[in-house]
Amino acid sequence: MKGLYPDLDSHTPVLQNKKAKTILVAEHSGFCHGVQKAVDKTLAVGEASDKPVYVLGQLIHNQQVIDHLNAKSIITVNSLDEVPQGGMCVIRTHGAPPEVVEEAESKGIEVSDATCPDVRLVQNKAIQLAEEGYTVVIVGKEEHPEIIGIKAYSQRVPGSKIVAINKVEEIAEKLKDAPRRRIGVVSQTTQMEENFFEMVKELSKVAKELKVFNTICPATYFRQSSALELAGKVDFMVVIGGKNSSNTTHLAEICLAQGTETIHVETYKELEGCEALQKADIVGVTAGASTPDWLIREALDYLQSL
């Protein structure tokens, strides 16, 4: 959060609006290092290119950032078929299956890899577990692009068995056709810690040998911890970030689980007319790891104007 306001460098930054409503800002919120690196790299690629640059899938899960990139001729596409031969394709922060990269290169498409280093770590750990003969359990949403990439890399190991499980209730069904004696576990980088540890606990009842890598990224942990702490201090929480962002959605879930009334918005405009916000004396603000500073700043400006 440093840099948004001169006075936002304390442990829990405090602002006040015209009606003396107190606004507390989570210590850890907004762009993480992986997202910032990916956005900076993609913008640099765009500036250096004299033709459109294509990103395979949303670079990050924030529509406002995607719109900003599109205005700079950095175009989001859903398939390599949309990228012309000889073009430039950026692999998004969530990564992509190795087959996609190979296909792009075979078509003469130049590839710039913006995969988050933390996501790359999970890919490597999953490969390691598969090579060591473990049934690999990835704790996360099977349809999430990060999980799709992790599975694709580790499934290249001959004889590997890889499953994605997001809920404890899914364990029996997902593992019914898999060897259970030796299970290795990794996590989607944006997974909720509580869910991850509950999954590990239940898998320990299934496996004779369990090897676990906690691959939840540090940025996710710090954002979740500071959101939980802040939610206990306020009357109302504002969570800013993409509605399709897993890490932002988890922040809202954490605040609600704390018993604090919470709203998840993409921009400050969704705060207009919110009666619960108007009634609250103390408002907390946090934002997902894919939320840029300028969106947080706009929301804070709006809250101060009330």
196 and 126 housed in the same domain: yes
Q: Is the CB of residue 220 less than 8 Å from the CB of residue 192?
A: no
178 lies in some domain: yes
Could you give the residue numbers annotated as active site? 146
208 and 122 housed in the same domain: yes
Domain tally for the chain? Answer: 3
274 and 260 housed in the same domain: yes
By residue range, what is the domain housing residue 89? 34-116
- Helix 117-131 vs helix 145-154: crossing angle, to nearest 10: 40
Of 212, 231, 252, the residue that ends a domain is: 212
CATH code: domain of residue 154: 3.40.1010.20
Pure H helices in the chain: 33-48, 63-70, 98-106, 117-131, 145-154, 171-174, 193-203, 218-231, 246-257, 275-279, 293-305
CATH code: domain of residue 106: 3.40.50.11270
**Along the 306 residues of the chain, how does pLDDT read in single tens digits?**
333 443 343 345 566 665 668 999 999 999 999 999 999 999 999 999 888 899 999 999 999 999 999 999 999 999 999 999 889 999 999 999 999 999 999 999 999 999 999 999 999 999 999 999 999 999 999 999 999 999 999 999 999 999 999 999 999 999 999 999 999 999 999 999 999 999 999 999 999 999 999 999 999 999 999 999 999 999 999 999 999 999 999 999 999 999 999 999 999 999 999 999 999 999 999 999 999 999 999 999 999 988
- Return the number of other C-beta atoms located less than 10 Å from residue 248's C-beta: 28
Of 212, 242, 270, the residue that ends a domain is: 212
Non-local CB neighbours of 295 within 8 Å, separated by 6+ positions:
62, 64, 240, 266, 267, 268, 287
Of 90, 116, 142, the residue that ends a domain is: 116
234 and 170 housed in the same domain: no
50 and 110 housed in the same domain: yes
59 lies in some domain: yes
149 lies in some domain: yes
284 lies in some domain: yes
- Return the number of other C-beta atoms located less than 10 Å from residue 167's C-beta: 12
The token pair that represents 105 in the structure block:
């290169």
Q: What is the DSSP string of 186-228?
A: EE-TT--HHHHHHHHHHHTTT-SEEEE-----HHHHHHHHHHH
Handedness of CA 173, 174, 175, 176 (dihedral sign): positive
25 and 39 housed in the same domain: no
58 lies in some domain: yes
- Give the SS3 label for residue 157: coil
Given this model, what pLDDT does residue 306 score?
Answer: 85
122 and 203 housed in the same domain: yes
Q: Is the CB of residue 138 less than 8 Å from the CB of residue 147?
A: yes
